[in-house]
């Protein structure tokens, strides 16, 4: 008995032979059915791409909305071409133009090729996957602005990874840091000079230390302190400092060498008037002698600072630069003038001490030395830019310099000395803690706290204090240094706020990225993974199987007669419902380590980890039996579905992703040849 059936333009014969059903294909129709299935699969894939693109577009619009709202420069660029794909409102307003389509290193850094510090290669690993956030600071060579940058790789609306960079302008913070460092540098130099003066009466030691402080403070190659005698017109080098950058000529000591200054009338007039002078080797107004001397010693620039006491010139300092011609800044000149004044005081004190020592008795000499020491102390005490104080354990000021009165807002010395220190503290326990620390270790350094000024303004200060004890060990008074760091603290707090805001924005971006990835890897109808995700996982599983020698099987399932189901019961209640139910059933029956994907319009693919072919076949049969029991209803009609499956296993013949997919597809094709509702294992030369 024979039956003729025609399905999708394919003619074949069913013949009953020996109690079985054998199908005979008409060979001239085989090519047509293969072409038809290819078209059907291509149409289904096109539909999936359209749906996925729509989902990407919606998520990308949400991402752009977030990026537009960030109060920082934000742009997205292509890893390969460095083309700007998106620039937010903040950066567009800064450039006053649309930057999309332009090359990032040309726009932002005015360079003709990729930036030397480009971080693109750090944002993706060798497999092309994101490495995470990258934070760095740099200075823009065009504007000179400082930025704190955050870069990461995100998936763009077309599915490929792009470079997202968020740049916060931290120029004001950097400038504040530089200003603080300059002030600390000045304070440190003055402190060391003061320490040198107060630590010894040896004038040679004091001046040598001041010369060293001058040279190091402005990084000159050498520094000299010269005395000057108006009666003889002679000057002598009384202290010198040779820096690490000095040339060979500078390294030859000129200590105690004398010079005749009578020929330099204009120079001496400037020094006498208290004016500094700068000489450069290339200047036209240099005398031939000056130019020859500078050229002989390789000096490019010299800064002269006068040393005066009560309007009388007693000497001058020279700060030489032999590396290159140099412009001395106003800050450097002011610092050197302050240090020169300390040197002048030291010279004057030494002269007075020597003169008095020759005329007075040892007792008188001791009294004068003490007076000079107190004078030096008070000069430093009143001139340093930080607050200096002495206080009693019960909270009264014994003394305080003008800088301390300014910091705490007292109108005069009397008001400050009458004040109770405890009233300055917002929290009285802070003072108790500080005193306890001093008592434990005799000193506390850089202790931060808030104080209330005399005018009720609240400020941040940094306190360093030590205890002065009597012979019995009892604390007589405290000696300390107080600095107003309010602006520094505000800057730090603002930076912390900006960092917190940046972290919030990054968290939002991470959430959007996760949503984008979910949409990029999921089939919208069934909720299982899509073919893109399957390609990634299959390569990973094949690599693991090759490395560890484990088994790996791939099962391709095709829902039988999907077109007839759609035609009979409708796409939603028929085909879509059948596909969703099949996907749900497979998800329930698959293991956690298995990967279920929608492979095509009516096809699903399951990657079975560590599963040989026979076990894969048994599991596929279990799925088939479970699906066959499911009853579907549509418009008072009921129907059931079946599927055909092809299985291929990792082997020497199926060692690549392409090979194993072709072999599984071949086995599926064989299952349909056998009449559908079959499970076939691929074997070389045949499928069983």
Catalytic residue IDs: 602
- Could you identify the residue written with the tokens 């007693």? 314
Pairing, β 679-683 against β 643-649 = parallel
Here the tokens at position 649 are 């296993």
Reduced to 3 states, what is the DSSP secondary structure of residue 102?
Answer: coil
What are the phi and psi torsion angles at 528 (to 5°)?
-85, 170
Please tell me the distance from the alpha carbon of residue 407 to that of residue 265, in angstroms, as a whole number. Answer: 45
Q: Nearest to residue 68, comparing CAs of 93, 102, 48?
A: 93
Please tell me the distance from the alpha carbon of residue 226 to that of residue 239, in angstroms, as a whole number. Answer: 7
What are the phi and psi torsion angles at 6 (to 5°)?
-125, 115
CA geometry: angle at 606 spanning 605 and 610, to 5°? 145
Q: How many CA atoms lie within 13 A of 196 on its CB side?
A: 24
Please tell me the distance from the alpha carbon of residue 45 to that of residue 34, in angstroms, as a whole number. Answer: 17
The residues near 625 (Cβ < 8 Å, ≥ 6 apart) are: none
Here the tokens at position 458 are 């609240």
Contact 66, 59 (CB under 8 A): no
Contact 146, 171 (CB under 8 A): yes
Contact 663, 648 (CB under 8 A): yes
Please tell me the distance from the alpha carbon of residue 363 to that of residue 378, in angstroms, as a whole number. Answer: 23
Please tell me the distance from the alpha carbon of residue 151 to that of residue 166, in angstroms, as a whole number. Answer: 7
Please tell me the distance from the alpha carbon of residue 434 to that of residue 431, in angstroms, as a whole number. Answer: 5
CA distances from 322 to 223, 237, 245, 668 (A): 12, 19, 8, 85
CA distances from 337 to 156, 189, 203, 647 (A): 60, 12, 19, 90
Here the tokens at position 343 are 């040197």
What are the phi and psi torsion angles at 458 (to 5°)?
-100, 130
Contact 251, 221 (CB under 8 A): no
Computed on alpha carbons and rounded to an integer, the radius of gyration of the chain in Å comes to 44
Task: Label residue 397 left, alpha or beta by phi (over 0 means left) and psi (-120 to 50 means alpha).
Answer: beta
Please tell me the distance from the alpha carbon of residue 418 to that of residue 429, in angstroms, as a whole number. Answer: 22
Which helix (H) or strand (E) segment holds residue 107: the answer is helix 104-109
Here the tokens at position 561 are 């007669």
Which helix (H) or strand (E) segment holds residue 618: the answer is helix 613-628
What are the phi and psi torsion angles at 162 (to 5°)?
-135, 165
Please tell me the distance from the alpha carbon of residue 74 to that of residue 64, in angstroms, as a whole number. Answer: 10
Strand order in the sheet with 234-242: 258-260, 234-242, 222-229, 312-321, 301-309, 277-280
| Per-residue DSSP letter, 192 | H
Q: How many CA atoms lie within 13 A of 531 on its CB side?
A: 17
């Amino acid at each position: 008995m024979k039956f003729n059936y025609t399905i999708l333009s394919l003619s074949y014969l069913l013949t009953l032979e020996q109690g079985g059903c054998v199908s005979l294909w008409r060979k001239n129709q085989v090519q047509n059915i293969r072409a038809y299935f290819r078209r059907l699969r291509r149409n289904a894939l096109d539909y999936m791409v359209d749906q996925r693109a729509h989902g990407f577009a919606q998520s990308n619009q949400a991402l752009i909305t977030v990026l537009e709202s960030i109060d920082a420069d934000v742009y997205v660029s292509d890893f390969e071409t460095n083309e700007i794909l998106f620039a937010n409102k903040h950066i567009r307003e800064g450039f006053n133009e649309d930057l999309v389509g332009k090359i990032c290193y040309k726009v932002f850094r005015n360079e003709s090729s990729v930036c030397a510090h480009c971080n693109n290669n750090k944002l993706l690993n060798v497999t092309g996957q994101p490495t995470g956030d990258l934070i760095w600071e740099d200075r823009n060579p065009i504007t000179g602005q400082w930025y704190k940058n955050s870069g990461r790789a995100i998936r763009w609306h077309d599915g490929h990874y792009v470079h997202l960079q968020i740049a916060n302008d931290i120029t004001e913070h950097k400038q504040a840091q530089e200003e603080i460092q300059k002030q600390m540098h000045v304070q440190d130099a003055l402190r060391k000079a003061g320490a040198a003066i107060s630590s010894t009466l040896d004038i040679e030691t004091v001046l040598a230390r001041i010369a060293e402080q001058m040279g190091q403070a402005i990084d000159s190659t050498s520094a000299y302190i010269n005395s000057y005698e108006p009666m003889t017109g002679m000057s002598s080098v009384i202290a010198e400092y040779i820096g690490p950058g000095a040339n060979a000529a500078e390294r030859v000591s000129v200590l105690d060498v004398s010079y005749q200054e009578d020929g330099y009338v204009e120079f001496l007039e400037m020094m006498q008037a208290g004016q500094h002078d700068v000489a450069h080797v290339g200047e036209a107004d240099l005398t031939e002698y000056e130019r020859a001397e500078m050229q002989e010693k390789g000096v490019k620039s010299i800064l002269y600072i006068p040393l005066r006491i009560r309007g009388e010139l007693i000497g001058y300092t020279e700060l030489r630069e032999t590396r290159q011609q140099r412009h001395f800044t106003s800050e450097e000149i002011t610092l050197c003038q302050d240090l020169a004044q300390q040197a002048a005081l030291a010279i004057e004190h030494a002269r007075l001490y020597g003169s008095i020592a020759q005329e007075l008795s040892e007792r008188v000499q001791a009294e004068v030395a003490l007076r000079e020491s107190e004078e030096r102390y008070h000069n430093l005490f009143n001139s340093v830019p930080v607050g200096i104080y002495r206080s009693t354990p019960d909270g009264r000021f014994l003394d305080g310099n003008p800088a301390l009165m300014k910091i705490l807002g007292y109108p005069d010395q009397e008001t400050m000395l009458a004040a109770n220190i405890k009233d300055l503290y917002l929290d009285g326990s802070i003072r108790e803690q500080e005193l306890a620390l001093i008592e434990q270790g005799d000193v506390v350094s850089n202790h931060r706290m808030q104080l209330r000024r005399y005018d009720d303004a609240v400020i941040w200060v940094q306190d360093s204090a030590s205890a002065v004890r009597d012979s019995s060990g009892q604390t007589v008074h405290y000696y300390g240094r107080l600095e107003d760091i309010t602006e520094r603290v505000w800057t730090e707090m603002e930076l912390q706020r900006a960092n917190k805001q940046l972290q919030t924005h990054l968290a939002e971006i991470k959430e959007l990225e996760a949503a984008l990835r979910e949409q990029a890897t999921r089939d919208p109808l069934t909720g299982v993974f899509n073919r893109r995700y399957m390609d990634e996982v299959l390569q990973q599983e094949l690599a693991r199987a090759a490395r560890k020698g484990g088994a790996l099987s791939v099962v391709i399932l095709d829902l039988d007669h999907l077109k007839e189901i759609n035609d009979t019961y409708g796409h939603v209640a028929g085909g879509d419902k059948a596909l969703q139910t099949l996907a749900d059933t497979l998800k329930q029956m698959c293991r956690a380590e298995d990967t279920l994907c929608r492979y095509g319009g009516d096809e699903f693919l399951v990657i079975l980890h560590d599963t040989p072919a026979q076990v894969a076949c048994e599991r596929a049969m279990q799925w088939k039996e479970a699906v066959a029991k499911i009853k579907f209803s549509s418009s008072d009609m009921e129907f059931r579905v079946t599927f055909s499956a092809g299985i291929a296993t990792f082997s020497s013949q199926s060692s690549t992703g392409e090979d194993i997919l072709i072999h599984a597809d071949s086995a599926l094709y064989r299952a349909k040849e056998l009449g559908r509702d079959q499970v076939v294992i691929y074997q070389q030369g045949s499928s069983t």
